[in-house]
Structure 1
Amino acid sequence: MAEEKEEPINPMMEEMKKQWAAMGIDPNQMLSYMNNAMGMQQNIQDQLNQAMGSNPFLQNLMGMAAGQAPAGDMLNMFDESPEVKEDSDLTPAELKAVLCGANIAYGNTQYLNTLSTYCPVEDILEGLENAWNIGSREDLLGTLDWLDKNGHKAYFDIIWAKLSTLPKAEWRAGIKGLALQALVDTNIEPERLMTYATHILEGYPGLLSHGIFAAAKTPDVTAWDLTRAINLCRFGFDVEYLTRDEALQKIQEFAQKLYSTYDSWKALSEGYVTGFAMWSGEGDALDERIEQHGVLLQHPKSPWTKVSWK
Structure 2
Amino acid sequence: MKIFLVIVGIIVAIVILLIVGLISASKKIEKQNKKMRAEMEKANPLPKEKQHLLAYGANLALYRSESPRVLQMKVDHEALKEGLSSYWDISNPEEAVQTLEWLLSEGHRTKYDELLLALKTGQSFTEEEVGKSQECYESAQEAMIKKLSFTKSDFDRVDTIAAWDFDRAINIARWSYILGYLTEEQAWSYIERAADAASPYFQSWKDYFISFAFGRGIAYEGDIYDIIWNGKELLGEKDSIWNEFSIKLPVAESR
Q: TM tier, shorter chain?
A: 0.7 to 0.9
2:16 aligned with 1:78, yes or no?
Answer: no
Q: CA 1:213–1:249 in structure 2 vs 1: closer, same or farther (change >3 Å)?
A: farther
Pick aligned residue for 1:235 from 151, 175, 185: 175
CA distance in structure 2 between the aligned counterparts of 1:81 and 1:301, rounded to whole angstroms: 12
Other-structure match for 2:113: 157
Other-structure match for 2:163: 223
Other-structure match for 1:98: 54
More contact order relative to length (CA 8 Å, sep ≥ 6): 2
CA distance in structure 1 between the aligned counterparts of 2:110 and 2:143, rounded to whole angstroms: 23
CA distance in structure 1 between the aligned counterparts of 2:152 and 2:127, rounded to whole angstroms: 24
Other-structure match for 2:231: 293
- Deviation string for 1:229-248 (max 9, x for gaps)? 10000001101111111101
Q: Secondary structure at the match of 1:109?
A: coil
Other-structure match for 1:304: 242
- Normalised by the length of structure 2, the TM-score is 0.74
CA distance in structure 2 between the aligned counterparts of 1:159 and 1:198, rounded to whole angstroms: 13
Pick aligned residue for 1:200 from 137, 151, 161: 137
Q: Secondary structure at the match of 1:309?
A: coil
On the 8 A contact 1:202/1:281 being kept in 2, the answer is no
Normalized per residue, the structure richer in helix is 2
2:206 aligned with 1:266, yes or no?
Answer: yes
RMSD of equivalent CA atoms: 2.7
- Deviation string for 1:8-36 (max 9, x for gaps)? xxxxxxxxxxxxxxxxxxxxxxxxxxxxx
CA distance in structure 2 between the aligned counterparts of 1:157 and 1:270, rounded to whole angstroms: 13
Q: CA 1:109–1:205 in structure 2 vs 1: closer, same or farther (change >3 Å)?
A: closer
Structure 1, unaligned stretches of length 5 or more? 1-74, 180-192
Give aligned-pair identity as a percent: 22
- Deviation string for 1:169-211 (max 9, x for gaps)? xx33xx24995xxxxxxxxxxxxx4432342244433334441
| Equivalences, count | 215
CA distance in structure 2 between the aligned counterparts of 1:162 and 1:87, rounded to whole angstroms: 47
Other-structure match for 1:117: 73
CA distance in structure 2 between the aligned counterparts of 1:119 and 1:140, rounded to whole angstroms: 18
Structure with higher Rg: it is: 1
